[in-house]
Amino acid sequence: MGSLPHIVEDCMGVLQVFSDGSVHRCPVKDINFPFPVVNDNSVSFKDVVFDKKLNISLRLYKPKSYVSGPSMAKLPVVFFFHGGGFCLGSRVWPNCHNFCIRLASGLDALVAAPDYRLAPEHKLPAAVEDAVSAVEWLQREALMSEGSGDGDAWIGGNMVDFDRVYVVGDSSGGNIAHHMAVQLGVGSVKVAPVRVRGYVLSAPFFGGVERTKSEEGPSETYLNLEILDRFWRLSLPKGETRDHPMANPFGPNSPSLEKVDLDPILVIVGGNEMLKDRAEIYWRRLKELGKKIEYVEFDGQQHGFFTNDPYSELANEALQSIKRFMIENSN
């Protein structure tokens, strides 16, 4: 008789992979999140299926203070892609929900927070494919608003400015944002009339076989090297290393970005993050290639300082950096 299946990979009890290849995900209601759900009553939200074939949804957030009308300015659109090492997370998790409420109210924007397929059931690049699919959904809505007007009521009716769309990604979501910027290209003409004006990468989850100093440094409250490596083992195609192009934009097998036209990018990172060096290398390399990219570092902060506590003083500063970035790249 064979042995019973046993756990071979355990992501904080939220995700467990067994020796027979089966996967167990803890129901959201059973996860002991370290932060409560915040609702400051400033924003309305609802869920929409954006990919009917794969049954993937996003959550829309709209400031309650906004009133549409011929003389009113249209709302910019901000996509937010959550973190979780490509293995965890959802639009319904409290940290994602709270952060999107803060983005919608603080940026006066319509925020769209898509889910995406997770590893190990769906290896990379599935997450990036779903992210692009979410932008294509907005494109379809934009075309309907220009034609029949049968699209989503929150998006049609002259309410949304499809010419001012921004992508914000946290951790693995920041990695997704980078690959979206490369795929969509400058001007994002593939998804017209949607026009992505810029990308914000908050503590982007990049990797590489060769360790950086911050990766080898002290562990964080919610992050350590073992967890980072586990996320890459589970999310990358079988047999691939952390130098895979999805993990390392500047790896030995990664395509050159020298001749790739990119829309503006803003990188935000905490000074005590294990991912800090990766983010800084990314910024420096793209800057050397002549890309329009900014870098903002918050001294002493760990991973999640922005998204897990979006109403803190430092989070407010980071939010202002995004707001400035949006204004500077609005046309």
Q: Which two structure tokens, joined as six digits, stand for 305?
A: 């300082």
Q: Mark whether 240 is an active-site residue.
A: no
Pairwise CA distance, residues 19 & 7, whole Å: 6
Annotated active-site residue in 105, 145, 171, 202: 171
- Exactly one of 179, 202, 215, 273 is catalytic; which is it? 273
| C-beta of residue 248 within 8 angstroms of C-beta of residue 207 | yes
- Give Cβ neighbours of residue 245 (< 8 Å, ≥ 6 apart): 251, 253, 254, 255
Return the bridge partners of 169, or none. 81, 201
273: annotated active-site residue: yes
End-to-end CA distance of the chain: 67
Is residue 255 reached through a cis peptide bond, with omega within 30 degrees of 0 on the bond before it? Answer: no
The reply to whether 24 belongs to the active site is no
Residues 155, 326: Cα–Cα separation, whole Å? 20
**213 is written with which tokens?**
């100093």
Which residues form the catalytic set? 171, 273, 303
